[in-house]
């Protein structure tokens, strides 16, 4: 049985959020199935799998969203966080071939690429003036070991000290350990010394080895994902964690996934943000995938907020779900929409149409339109600055004759 967490203020949270939470939850007359869940949430007791199933199966989606929103507002009010970042995917060459992945290429493919350190730096320099984070994940290159990334991260840190490096998924860390014949913990320590700031958390998919055997055979096991993040936190590297849903998993497997992440965070407190995103099917090899509908995306965001009482931030990842659903996600428990991004391949090759040309002002307007207050954050959620977008021309109605 997990302990009831003490209300320790975490990154960006109101200090008295537990008091606010009890008050928020008392204000509403929740329906009978949700009342016992609201009572648990009011004392920040962790929800169990049965509670999660009630939330997933509750017929009134809006009530589940309202419950998640009550928790989100107690912790953060109407603040919604974003950052200024760019995604650089350093190589698409990968020794694995996960069936949900539209990004990877074999080394001989015509459009296979692997950026040298020089090419990466050249690319980064185009964006460096406008960002404070570079997010880099990629394929498992058959020839790159830890030394390659030590060189790269040193160059980034030396030439752009204002940029935080959020890079590499757990399976990339495992691959580097195998290539360089060292432990994953040593990989993490060496990369931390070279300038790595945090891990983005991708690659969790569903932490169930039966599901993984079908959708990403050969990737790290569920336990390895957890262990590598445990080691990252021990090495002083905070991380995000993710969930890819809408492939072949059951609701129970989604919930167990969240419970596994919550358990690790009770131990390490190193997870900053949870990012649930649906499978996008273009150019993938998973015809049996269920695919998630828009309402299922919103419900999963809401359930994530309610299940993960010790992971402060829940992201509505607009690179995957698009701007419109991300805006709605901010009403369903999410408090973050990721960043300006500007350049991204992995989600777009799988079918995302999320715009890549948003500057801070556009993102802030999107957040304002969702009824929230834009707050720019740094990579590790330790620095926050309210951001007011420049005024836009008032929208005018068109004369009837032109409609």
Determine, following the binding rule CB under 6 A, whether residue 140 of this chain makes contact with ligand SF4. Answer: yes
Report the SS3 class of residue 253.
Answer: helix
- Total binding residues toward ligand SF4, as defined by CB under 6 A: 12
If the CB atoms of residues 104 and 135 are measured against ligand SF4, the closer one turns out to be 104
CA–CA gap between residue 46 and residue 58 (Å, rounded): 19
If the CB atoms of residues 134 and 140 are measured against ligand SF4, the closer one turns out to be 140
Neighbours of 49 (CB within 10 A): 14
Question: Minimal distance in Å, beta carbon 202 to ligand SF4?
Answer: 8
Who contacts 235 (Cβ-Cβ below 8 Å, separation ≥6)?
A: 185, 188, 189, 192
Contacts of ligand SF4 in 84-123 (CB under 6 A): 94, 96-98, 101, 103-104
| Contact indicator for 236, 192 with CB cutoff of 8 Å | yes
If the CB atoms of residues 140 and 330 are measured against ligand SF4, the closer one turns out to be 140
If the CB atoms of residues 36 and 142 are measured against ligand SF4, the closer one turns out to be 142
CA–CA gap between residue 373 and residue 181 (Å, rounded): 48
CA–CA gap between residue 392 and residue 403 (Å, rounded): 23
If the CB atoms of residues 232 and 346 are measured against ligand SF4, the closer one turns out to be 346
Ranges assigned E (strand) in 229-280:
239-245, 271-278
Determine, following the binding rule CB under 6 A, whether residue 311 of this chain makes contact with ligand SF4. Answer: no
If the CB atoms of residues 175 and 377 are measured against ligand SF4, the closer one turns out to be 175
Binding-residue pattern over the window 354 to 383 for ligand SF4, x denoting contact by CB under 6 A: ------------------------------
Question: Minimal distance in Å, beta carbon 247 to ligand SF4?
Answer: 12
- Nearest partner of 139 among 179, 107, 108, 185, judged by Cα: 107
Binding-residue pattern over the window 182 to 221 for ligand SF4, x denoting contact by CB under 6 A: ----------------------------------x--x--
Can you state the angle between helices 35-42 and 17-26, rounded to 10 degrees? 160
> Regarding beta strands 384-386 and 373-377, do their DSSP bridges make them parallel or antiparallel, or are they unpaired?
antiparallel
- Binds ligand SF4 (CB under 6 A): choice among 139, 201, 329, 339: 139
- Nearest partner of 17 among 28, 31, 5, 29, judged by Cα: 5
Determine, following the binding rule CB under 6 A, whether residue 171 of this chain makes contact with ligand SF4. Answer: yes
If the CB atoms of residues 172 and 335 are measured against ligand SF4, the closer one turns out to be 172
Question: Minimal distance in Å, beta carbon 94 to ligand SF4?
Answer: 3
Determine, following the binding rule CB under 6 A, whether residue 173 of this chain makes contact with ligand SF4. Answer: no
Neighbours of 11 (CB within 10 A): 18
CA–CA gap between residue 206 and residue 228 (Å, rounded): 16
If the CB atoms of residues 96 and 214 are measured against ligand SF4, the closer one turns out to be 96
Q: Which two tokens stand for residue 102?
A: 């539209």
If the CB atoms of residues 203 and 312 are measured against ligand SF4, the closer one turns out to be 203
Q: Which two tokens stand for residue 200?
A: 């983005």
Determine, following the binding rule CB under 6 A, whether residue 276 of this chain makes contact with ligand SF4. Answer: no
Q: Which two tokens stand for residue 291?
A: 């695919």
Determine, following the binding rule CB under 6 A, whether residue 321 of this chain makes contact with ligand SF4. Answer: no
Q: DSSP for 313-339, please give it.
A: EEB--HHHHHHHHHHHHTTTT--EEEE
Question: Minimal distance in Å, beta carbon 282 to ligand SF4?
Answer: 14
Which residues are at the interface with ligand SF4 (CB under 6 A)?
A: 94, 96-98, 101, 103-104, 139-140, 171, 216, 219
């Amino acid at each position: 049985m997990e302990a009831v967490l003490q209300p320790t203020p975490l990154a960006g949270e109101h200090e008295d959020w537990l008091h606010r939470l009890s008050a928020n939850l008392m204000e509403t007359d929740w329906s009978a199935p949700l009342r016992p869940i609201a009572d648990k949430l009011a004392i920040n007791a962790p929800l169990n799998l049965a509670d999660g199933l009630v939330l997933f199966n509750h017929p009134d989606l809006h009530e589940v969203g309202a419950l998640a929103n009550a928790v989100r507002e107690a912790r953060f009010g109407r603040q919604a966080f974003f950052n200024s970042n760019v995604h650089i995917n350093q190589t698409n060459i990968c020794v694995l071939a996960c069936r949900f992945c539209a990004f990877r290429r074999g080394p001989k493919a015509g459009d296979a690429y692997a950026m040298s350190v020089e090419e990466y730096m050249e690319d980064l320099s185009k964006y460096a003036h406008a960002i404070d984070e570079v997010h880099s994940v990629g394929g498992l290159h058959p020839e790159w070991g830890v030394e390659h990334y030590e060189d790269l991260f040193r160059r980034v840190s030396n030439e752009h000290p204002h940029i935080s490096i959020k890079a590499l998924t757990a399976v990339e860390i495992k691959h580097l350990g195998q290539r360089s014949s060292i432990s994953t913990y040593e990989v993490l320590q060496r990369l931390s010394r070279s300038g790595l700031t945090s891990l983005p958390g991708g690659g969790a998919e569903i932490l169930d080895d039966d599901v993984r055997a079908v959708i990403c055979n050969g990737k790290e096991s569920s336990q390895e994902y957890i262990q590598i993040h445990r080691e990252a936190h021990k090495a002083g590297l905070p991380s995000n964690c993710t969930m890819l849903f809408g492939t072949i998993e059951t609701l129970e497997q989604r919930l167990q996934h969240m419970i596994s992440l919550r358990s690790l965070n009770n131990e390490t407190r190193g997870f900053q943000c949870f990012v649930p995103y649906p499978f996008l099917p273009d150019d993938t090899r998973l015809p049996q995938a269920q695919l998630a509908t828009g309402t299922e995306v919103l419900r999963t965001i809401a359930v994530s907020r309610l299940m993960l009482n010790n992971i402060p931030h829940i992201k509505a990842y607009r690179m995957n779900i698009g701007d419109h659903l991300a805006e709605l996600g901010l009403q369903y428990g999410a408090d973050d929409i990721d960043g300006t991004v500007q350049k991204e391949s992995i989600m777009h090759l799988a079918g995302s149409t999320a715009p890549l040309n948003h500057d801070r002002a556009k993102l802030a307007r999107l957040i304002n339109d969702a009824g929230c207050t834009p707050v720019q954050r740094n990579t590790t959620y330790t620095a926050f600055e309210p951001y007011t977008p420049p005024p836009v021309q008032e929208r005018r109605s068109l004369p009837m004759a032109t409609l």
